[in-house]
A and B are shown apart, each in its own frame.
Chain A
């Protein structure tokens, strides 16, 4: 494996908690992996399961999905939908022979800058060990 491998991790972050937590990590100058590429969404429940699949198949080495803690959703129940959908997507990944470890769902609140930084680093390290997204070399229609 190439030591220089810098993973790219598409990170869907909900506007109210995880994105704000990521901002806080920056405001607190917590240093974390630059592999994390944030995409703001209104709620984690906005993230269609197809997005996860699509992000993976278009070459992301990892896909992170961040939402409010259960019970804290700005939209009351959005993250419960996310949780159920995510469980299914992982199963779909496995049954298709894709690496479900490249998907991660985390609850990060607006005040959890340190947690965001920690998860960013941990997940990057995990992906680094997994190596490049193998489907990059494959053909998908």
Chain B
């Protein structure tokens, strides 16, 4: 039938063929682009994790001899097994081995087997959860949500399905219009098999080249986009490694398979539909959009009269064909609006709760690794650096303390005392409650300055207790309320070792206060019942050995002069790092302005990524709309002829199309405005932000720009459809026997 029928059909139906070719090309391009971008995003994330955290899949800690190492390397599917490089200055050789497998699915299965062979207990095994999660390998013990990869995957699948729907719709429009022709063929003796073969041959002939070209161009576009992102982000985000384009043959195979399968199914479906009809039914079916039941478009009729009602009915009749376009446009605009509002709100919140809150507290921060503040002697040297206004060196340590039954304040008891306190935070005892008492060990000068700040006696032999507990009945974290925690009559505080409460140290209490020193720290954010103690480093030197629990790192917090520039802070940061390195310390450092800029860049980057996704969705919607509009000429010429024959002027028909376009473009707004308003209301409520603050920075401009782009694309699609219909002449349509 190819030579006898299909070739002529394709030749004599250029518009229809072009519409199918365009849809197949656009969809294959976007699908290929999307899959390629997703693959590269995944690849980049895996590379980033491997660079930052190491390329290992699992780690075994214990006594592992060289011959054991050889045995591990010979184990099935083990790609490599290497000792973990030694860290710090510890004289002990590393007892950990990093394993990589050539089959990720076997990591969780084979690592315990290897450990068992070495007589190493299972608790000495650790897994690289973040890396494994990228390969969809989840350890049941890992409680972190790790949703980014599944989220990306879900987004890619959803977008791919939308693109597939475009190809399908385009075919459906073309094929449905031909049901009558196929019915004629059937009536003169074409078998269902012959019709199916004919449709599939046509689909293959029309789509082979555009699908291949679209797939190829999609890969090239993603390559270009990756290069562009490298050029844009290079040097802006510290530590960012360059993305190297990669493409796995499986991605190509999947993309191709998805498009080919869609084309095949789309061509096969009309054949199936036909097989359910008698030739007579098929001949009577004109493939014309029809209303299934009477359903007046009251609002449109009221607003625009007869053209409004006709437009409403036409939209209902085309409901199926317009589904992809409508859904994509609505969802893209909704997602874009909510995303813009969310990031604006998030930026305001971070700025207020972090950057503005700590603006006068720190400018440069250094985290000194594996060292103790007690032995740090370079504080004065840092203080003398040009640009450094004040320096505080501090370290944190874990300890515990008993709050006796009679020690709680009346306010604390009025709020229920320790009733309902989580068992992990508070342990009830016969004579009171054992609570966490985090220690903040300040350098002596910093501690004395703190004493002066709160009006306490300036001594170095005691501690200051942060005597406040948050009113948990007020969830507003932006404006928290506190009340006194314990009575302030005890002159000493007995600190207990966090690991073993049998070891203690009694320290004098210099003051109880509800004020905190100017540190970039948060207190009692998770454990409401912790009783924070501030200690001078001199006192820590005396009790540190008994209490222990010190964190491995300590911090140097430096404040520069007011309104210091980024260059000044960079220079100060460099000087501090140089000094620390020269003294043999390993340190990481950051400065406030740099962090703020990085944060802004990250937010912009995330916004750009999500915007790109929304734009992609909108393009899918617009693509579907264009594909539908190009099918107007075939699909709606009878409708057009009927309108003309009953006396509607071309101007009135144009009005019908304008109303249809308005409804399609207006629907995203009508759905988005209340939904976005509700989402913003809930976000504002959850973040306790003043609506006025948000409204002052509301992202109205990008939302309006996005909406205008949607309006323009809908208008253009309908303009093209209208132009095609304008070219038709009533007499020609009426003469066409398929009209009857």
Bound together? no
